[in-house]
A = this chain, B = another copy of it.
């Protein structure tokens, strides 16, 4: 307590410090520090005494001081494109759970696709002394990244960062899930399949588009440029894109979207134009956000597990931060994707309704987890 000490003006609380523990346990502060940090050179008997004292006085190490002296804050930075896109909160949640369980705190930032914001965000994170940053978006100034890499600052990218050594990358296997989606549609009898991309300056968006093109090629279907529309990964973008498709002389029978939000926008746009889904047109999303199964109709979509993504991100960061991490040398992490069939895909319009009975053809692909109803 020591109320005699005339407190500094602004100081909030005279927290109990390592010195109080030391006094109580009748040891030096060095020993307390070692005991608390579980350093093996301290005698077990003494350590017990220290821990007892810690409990008695209610000691909590001061993170600021610890960070100041050790140069490590135990904070992980996580940068996402847009926190209001429901995929990201799910990711953030998983990431945070994992990080906290492993003794790290998380500092989150959302760029809104704005390079200026991104840069100031990274600066803020560095200033706060984060130990590493996972960048789950793009549109980053290459030279900032280069500078960080030179400092050997731990960075983790999704898909593919700049071509630089010493950064870690989570490679999402887009082809896998998108191929399943295209084959699912092709198997149903679709020939005219459109694709609504994300903002193409995002590598992840371009990668999804490329995977689509490749998969279409594999089943021998053409991709005319009028069926490749650039969106922006938002509902508004999905609406605009579907309006352009609707304006075409012939509406494609199916449309695959670069993410679920786009697909939701498409659903909404088709509602406005009184098209029915999946009767008039089949719609497939990407991400499998929680919301997808609650859409009307429930959305067939390619699942990219944010649990997988978060797990890999945390692991990759720790690999870069902790010198003797078991995976310190690993530079790439692979993230799988897979199709989840729900109700927004069906045989193309004009197909004999009798075929509607042949549902078994679909069940072959369907791998939906037991729905939560």
List residues of A whose CB falls within 8 A of some B CB: 8, 10-13, 60-65, 67-68, 70-73, 83-84, 86, 88-90, 92-93, 96, 100, 105, 107-110, 124, 126-129, 131, 151-153, 235-236, 239, 264-265, 267-268, 271-272, 290-291, 294-298, 323, 372-373
Contact = CB atoms under 8 A, between A and B. Distances in A.
User: What 10 A-B pairs have minimum CB-CB distances, sorted nearest first?
Assistant: A11-B71, A64-B68, A64-B67, A83-B89, A268-B294, A271-B296, A84-B89, A235-B294, A296-B296, A89-B89
A296 B63 CA distance: 49
Nearest to A322: B10
Contacts of A372: 236
Given A93-B83, A124-B105, A129-B63, A264 B294 contact: yes
Contacts of A239: 373
A73 B84 contact: no
Given A12-B151, A93-B110, A268-B296, 6 more contacts: A10-B70, A60-B126, A83-B92, A86-B86, A235-B290, A264-B294
Contact of A290 (B13, B62, B84, B109): B84
A88 B86 CA distance: 10
Copies of the polypeptide in the assembly? 2
B10 A71 contact: yes
A372 B232 CA distance: 15
Nearest to A61: B127
Contacts of A296: 267-268, 271, 296
Contact of A90 (B84, B264, B373): B84
Nearest to A110: B93
B68 A96 contact: no
Contacts of A290: 84, 235
Nearest to A121: B100
A67 to B, nearest CB: 4
